[in-house]
């Protein structure tokens, strides 16, 4: 972890084998609520802030990333500036195996993210989403 990084994990959480937390500059903060499960080989990568609520079930190989990089034409890929945002995952969310949650996404309470979905936009409360990019399929009943 980088200097001044914050990693707070609530009570009753399970962090399964080989889950990976990468907290890098400038000001990384990861907050995980109570009774949340982070699946095997999950990758949580923060440069700013990732907040994961309580009672969240995260499958294996899930990635949650609060940053990206620029794609300006006049700079090489290596020279691109970091684009830094945040991710908010509310309580009672189920994130299926292999899903990717990208920067500046807010996942509402009770949402379900289908396996291998790539979430690039906000997800409404109780929505069930899937696909690449993820789209609302239905709502929990």
DSSP 123: B
The whole model's pTM is what?
A: 0.95
CA angle in degrees (0–180, nearest 5) for 26-29-31: 170
CATH architecture label of 20-139: 3 Solenoid (2.160)
**Residue 137, CB half-sphere, CA atoms under 13 Å: how many?**
14
3 state DSSP class of 79: helix
**Residue 54, CB half-sphere, CA atoms under 13 Å: how many?**
6
Is 69 known to be catalytic? Answer: yes
Residue by residue, pLDDT tens for the chain (141 residues) are 678 899 999 999 999 999 999 999 999 999 999 999 999 999 999 999 999 999 999 999 999 999 999 999 999 988 999 999 999 999 999 999 999 999 999 999 999 999 999 999 999 999 999 999 999 999 999
116 closest CA partner among 93, 87, 92, 95: 95
From the list 18, 67, 69, 106, the catalytic residue is 69
């Amino acid at each position: 972890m980088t200097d001044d990084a914050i990693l707070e994990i609530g009570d009753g959480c399970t962090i399964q084998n080989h889950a990976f937390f990468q907290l890098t500059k400038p000001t990384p903060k990861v907050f995980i609520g109570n009774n949340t499960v982070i699946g095997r080989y999950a990758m949580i990568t923060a440069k700013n802030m990732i907040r994961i609520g309580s009672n969240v079930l995260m499958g294996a190989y899930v990635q949650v990333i609060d940053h990206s990089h620029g794609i300006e034409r006049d700079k090489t890929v290596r020279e691109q500036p970091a684009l830094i945002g945040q991710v908010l995952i509310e309580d009672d969310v189920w994130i299926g195996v292999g899903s990717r949650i990208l920067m500046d996404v807010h996942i509402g309470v009770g949402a379900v993210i289908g396996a291998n979905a790539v979430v690039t936009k906000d997800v409404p409360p109780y929505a069930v989403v899937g696909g690449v990019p993820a789209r609302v399929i239905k709502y929990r009943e």
